[in-house]
A and B are shown apart, each in its own frame.
Chain A
Amino acid sequence: MLDQFRRLGFRHVLLQVLNFASVLASGLAMWKGLGLLTNTESPIVVVLSGSMEPAFYRGDLLFLTNPPTSAYRTGDITVYNAPGGAIPIVHRVLETHDLVTKLTVDDVVVPQLLLTKGDNNQEDDIQLYNGLEYLERKHIVGKVNGFLPYVGYVTIAMNDFPQLKYALMGILGLMALIQRE
């Protein structure tokens, strides 16, 4: 291994490190750019619970948008961060209440109160709101618009078995350094 490094030379190793860094940076830039376009902090999320079965299972990928000028409606599937909650939750909107405001600016959505429920749950989500009776717009991450099954299971597997994550990162890193092109 060391011999191989020596043969490649210091400059080559530096170049590969640079390549690797630019791949990482462009990935991050694409993620943030997508977030900017869709106006949400995470445009793609992985389903972590079974509360929307049989439509969404653990490990399915969801694509979100959060248009700043349109309100949420009943039947929309939202991803929200409950106050004090650890993980984002994917549930359907059961009630919307569009409050009256004195402001009449076109670009601003009316303040809304939302109540959500998982399709696979018996009860609505008030228990999950940690004392709130309704969600507000600021808790909502986005609306689910697209669906891709299974793909997100990789990240769940990596969380459940950290060894897998380190092994994968190690192999990728080594290959990036050694590859000659």
Chain B
Amino acid sequence: MHSIYQRLNSVSALLSTCLLVLLGSIALTTYVHETHPSGTLEISSTKVKLGRMRYQRRMVETAHVKFNYNADLTSLFHWNTKQVFLYLTAEYTNAQGTQNEAVFWDRIVRRKEDANIHIAGGNKYFLKDLTRSFKNATSVTYSMKYNVMPWIGPLTWGEAGRTEALPLPPAQNTV
């Protein structure tokens, strides 16, 4: 009637059902946790430099931005948070009407203790336009965004800090 094979089969079926239900409910609680991240983003200086980048023969304008960021992101850390990926973007429209969004700084926050953030930072990545120039581009809006990466289940995105549109200064020749 009940062979070893049958017993093993039903035990493993029960265990895997329990595991699936547990994992599923952990994943679903991601939506239940209340998160209220807040941050203030200030741009302390912007410069546009005209020069040659590595491997490139033509002149390219690059924007150099310094910023201050203070934030309390502790509420993003609940039991299903593996890490928070924090990234700073610049949004603007260039002379040709292309809408651009570019990340020029990012940080991985892995612990709740590190989620109270006070940074004075600058570019980690080059900020440059498709046309190689920021001439006649609109003012730039800067915003700090985050991506909460879970132990299991859905990834979520949000924003904690934004500036108003700030104009870029004219390019300085650095060659």
Whether B102 contacts A100 by the Cβ 8 Å rule is no
Among listed A10-18, A21-29, A90-98, A162-170, interface-contacting one: A90-98
Whether B157 contacts A75 by the Cβ 8 Å rule is yes
Q: How far is the CB of B30 from chain A (nearest CB, A)?
A: 10
CB within 8 Å for A98 and B98 given contacts A54-B110, A75-B87, A124-B125: yes
CB within 8 Å for A94 and B125 given contacts A99-B98, A100-B97, A119-B108: yes
Residues 85-118 of A contacting B (Cβ, < 8 Å): 92, 94-100, 113, 117
Whether B98 contacts A95 by the Cβ 8 Å rule is no
Residues 136-157 of A contacting B (Cβ, < 8 Å): 144-149
Whether B96 contacts A100 by the Cβ 8 Å rule is yes
Q: Contacts of A92 on B, CB cut-off 8 Å?
A: 85
Which partner residue on chain B sits nearest A120 by CB separation? B108
Picked from B83, B87, B151, B152, the residue with its CB within 8 Å of the CB of A74 is B87
Whether A54 contacts B147 by the Cβ 8 Å rule is no
Residues 121-135 of B contacting A (Cβ, < 8 Å): 125, 130
Q: Contacts of A94 on B, CB cut-off 8 Å?
A: 102-103, 125
Contact code string A59-80 (vs B, CB < 8 Å = 1, else 0) = 0000000000000011111000
Q: Contacts of B125 on A, CB cut-off 8 Å?
A: 94, 117, 124
Interface majority SS on A: helix, strand, loop or mixed?
A: strand
A76 to B157, CA, bound (A): 8
Q: Contacts of B89 on A, CB cut-off 8 Å?
A: 74-75
Q: How far is the CB of A20 from chain B (nearest CB, A)?
A: 18
Residues of A within 8 A of B (CB): 54-55, 73-77, 92, 94-100, 113, 117, 119, 124, 144-149
CB-CB nearest 9 A-B residue pairs = A98-B99, A100-B97, A95-B102, A55-B149, A96-B101, A74-B101, A94-B103, A74-B103, A74-B89
User: 22 A-B residue contacts at CB 8 Å?
Assistant: A54-B110, A55-B149, A73-B101, A74-B101, A74-B145, A75-B89, A75-B157, A77-B147, A94-B103, A95-B100, A96-B101, A96-B102, A99-B98, A100-B96, A100-B97, A119-B85, A119-B106, A119-B108, A144-B155, A145-B155, A146-B154, A147-B153
